[in-house]
C-alpha cells in the first residue's frame, strides 16, 4: 500500500483540477454539437424565400396580376371576346350583324410578353375591336417581391402602357362628282392613350391571392367613332380617368382556379360602365387557358378600364378566353 503525505495529495489534486479545466476549455465544439444539452439554443430563423405562383399567369382576367414572365421566356397570348348576350338570337342594323347571342362576333388581340430579367417584363400586342384597330405596348417592373418570412409582406409592381389607334376614320362628303369618302383629321396625339398603374398584391396562402391596382388612364380623345353616322360622339367621360382595380384568385384544384376582378372609375364614367369580370384558369401542360365572362370588349387597359359600353345588369356580359403558351428563348442559367 502506498501512503501519500499531505504534500503529495495536494499536488495530485492540483494536477487533476488543471486537467479537468483544460478539458472543458478545449472541447466546446462537442458541447455545442449536442443541442439537447444546451441551455442557450434558439430556434433557427426561417429562410426568406420569394413567394411564387400567386396567380397562374400575368393576368387576373383583364387586370394585370403580380406575376411576371420568367427571364428569357416569351409568352404568346391570344385573347378573344364574343358579342354581348343581349344581342339576341338575331339582330341586324347598319353597323353590324349580330346573332347567336353574340357568338358570331369576333374581337381579338394577339400579342406576347417577354421576361427581360427577373424583375422586368415587356409586352406588345395588336387588337381589333369593332370599328377600331390598334397596337399597344407596356412595361411591367417589380419593385418588391413578397417573401415567406413576411419581412416583405407584399409584392409591388409598376406598369406603364401606351395604345395607338391606327384606324382610318372616314366620313362621306358630297363632292362635284357625288359622294366622296375622306379621312377625318385625327392627329397622332389624339390617337394615343396612356396608362400608369401601381400593382399591389399578396399570396395569402396556397389557395388565395389578391391584388389592388390604382390606375390613371389618359385618353387622346373623350369621343368615340360611330361607324353608322361616320362621326365622333362625345362620351361625357374626362380624358384623364382614375380607377382602382381589385381582383383575387381562389384555387379550386391543382390545375384550376376561380378569378374575379372589379375596376371602378373614381372620377366619372360618362356613358360607359365599370368593368367586372369572372374567369376560370385551366392549366394544361405548357398552356394556361382562361375562360371568362366580362362586360369589357377591349383587351388592353385603355379600353377595358374606361371604354365599356355594356353592363351586366342588362345582360351586356360576353364570353371570352385568353390562351397563353410559353417558349424559352434564352437559357435561364444565364440570369443566375
Domains of the chain and any CATH numbers: 73-335 (2.40.160.40)
Residue 289 pairs in a beta bridge with 282, 323
Confidence class of residue 320 from pLDDT cuts 50, 70 and 90? Answer: very high
Give dist(CA 280, CA 250) in Å, integer: 10
- Calculate the CA 75 to chain-centre distance: 13
- Calculate the CA 171 to chain-centre distance: 39
Q: Which of 105, 79, 78, 75 has the alpha carbon at shortest distance from 91?
A: 105
Determine how β-strand 192-203 pairs with β-strand 155-165.
antiparallel
pLDDT for the residue 111: 95
Confidence class of residue 33 from pLDDT cuts 50, 70 and 90? Answer: very low
| pTM of the entire predicted model | 0.81
Asked if the model's pLDDT at residue 36 lies above 60, the reply is: no
Confidence class of residue 246 from pLDDT cuts 50, 70 and 90? Answer: very high
For residues 255-289, one letter each, b for 16 or more C-beta atoms within 10 angstroms of the residue's C-beta and e for the rest, the string is eebebbbebebeeebbebbbbbbbbbbbbeeeebb
Percentage with pLDDT > 70 across the chain: 82
Give dist(CA 227, CA 321) in Å, integer: 26
Confidence class of residue 46 from pLDDT cuts 50, 70 and 90? Answer: low
Q: Is the model more confident about 139 or about 185?
A: 139
Give dist(CA 190, CA 154) in Å, integer: 37
> Do the Cβ atoms of 123 and 111 come closer than 8 Å?
yes
Determine how β-strand 178-183 pairs with β-strand 132-144.
unpaired
Predicted confidence (pLDDT) per residue in 155-211, tens digit: 999 999 999 999 888 888 887 877 888 888 888 999 999 999 999 999 999 999 999
> Do the Cβ atoms of 247 and 210 come closer than 8 Å?
yes
Q: At 17, is the secondary structure helix, strand, or coil?
A: helix
Mean of pLDDT over the chain: 84
Give dist(CA 317, CA 171) in Å, integer: 31
Q: Which of 170, 118, 140, 175 has the alpha carbon at shortest distance from 333?
A: 118
Q: How many CA atoms lie within 13 A of 325 on its CB side?
A: 6
Confidence class of residue 48 from pLDDT cuts 50, 70 and 90? Answer: confident
Cβ-based neighbours of 10, under 8 Å, separated by 6 or more: none
How many other C-beta atoms are found inside a 10 Å radius of the C-beta of residue 117?
13
Q: Is the model more confident about 91 or about 132?
A: 132
Predicted confidence (pLDDT) per residue in 91-120, tens digit: 555 455 556 777 777 789 999 999 999 999
Determine the longest span between alpha carbons in the chain, in angstroms: 144
Q: Which of 206, 208, 205 has the alpha carbon at shortest distance from 247?
A: 208
pLDDT for the residue 276: 97
Cβ-based neighbours of 109, under 8 Å, separated by 6 or more: 77, 78, 79, 80, 125, 126, 127, 128, 299, 300
Amino acid at each position: 500500500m502506498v501512503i501519500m503525505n499531505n504534500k503529495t495529495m495536494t499536488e495530485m489534486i492540483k494536477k487533476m483540477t488543471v486537467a479537468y479545466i483544460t478539458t472543458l476549455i478545449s472541447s466546446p465544439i462537442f458541447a455545442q454539437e449536442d443541442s439537447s444539452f444546451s441551455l442557450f439554443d434558439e430556434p433557427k430563423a426561417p429562410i426568406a424565400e420569394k413567394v411564387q405562383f400567386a396567380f397562374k399567369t400575368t393576368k387576373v382576367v383583364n387586370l394585370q396580376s403580380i406575376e411576371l414572365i420568367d427571364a428569357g421566356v416569351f409568352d404568346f397570348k391570344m385573347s378573344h371576346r364574343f358579342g354581348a348576350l343581349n344581342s339576341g338570337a338575331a339582330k341586324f342594323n347598319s353597323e353590324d350583324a349580330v346573332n347567336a347571342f353574340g357568338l358570331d362576333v369576333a374581337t381579338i388581340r394577339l400579342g406576347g410578353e417577354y421576361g427581360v430579367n427577373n424583375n422586368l417584363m415587356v409586352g406588345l400586342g395588336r387588337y381589333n375591336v369593332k370599328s377600331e384597330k390598334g397596337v399597344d405596348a407596356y412595361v411591367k417592373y417589380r419593385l418588391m417581391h413578397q417573401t415567406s418570412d413576411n419581412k416583405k409582406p407584399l409584392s409591388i409592381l409598376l406598369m406603364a402602357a401606351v395604345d395607338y389607334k391606327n384606324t382610318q376614320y372616314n366620313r362621306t362628303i358630297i363632292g362635284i362628282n357625288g359622294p366622296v369618302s375622306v379621312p377625318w383629321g385625327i392627329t397622332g396625339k389624339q390617337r394615343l392613350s396612356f396608362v400608369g398603374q401601381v400593382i399591389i398584391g399578396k399570396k395569402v396562402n396556397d389557395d388565395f391571392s389578391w391584388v389592388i391596382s390604382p390606375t390613371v388612364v389618359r385618353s387622346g380623345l373623350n369621343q368615340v367613332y360611330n361607324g353608322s353616322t361616320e362621326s365622333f360622339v362625345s362620351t361625357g367621360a374626362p380624358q384623364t380617368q382614375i380607377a382602382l382595380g381589385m381582383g383575387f384568385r381562389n384555387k379550386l384544384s391543382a390545375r384550376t382556379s376561380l378569378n374575379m376582378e372589379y375596376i371602378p372609375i373614381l372620377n366619372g364614367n360618362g356613358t360607359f360602365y365599370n368593368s367586372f369580370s369572372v374567369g376560370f384558369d385551366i392549366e394544361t401542360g405548357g398552356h394556361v387557358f382562361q375562360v371568362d365572362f366580362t362586360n369589357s370588349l377591349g383587351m388592353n387597359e385603355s379600353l377595358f378600364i374606361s371604354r365599356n359600353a355594356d353592363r351586366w345588369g342588362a345582360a351586356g356580359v360576353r364570353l371570352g378566353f385568353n390562351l397563353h403558351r410559353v417558349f424559352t428563348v434564352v437559357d435561364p442559367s444565364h440570369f443566375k
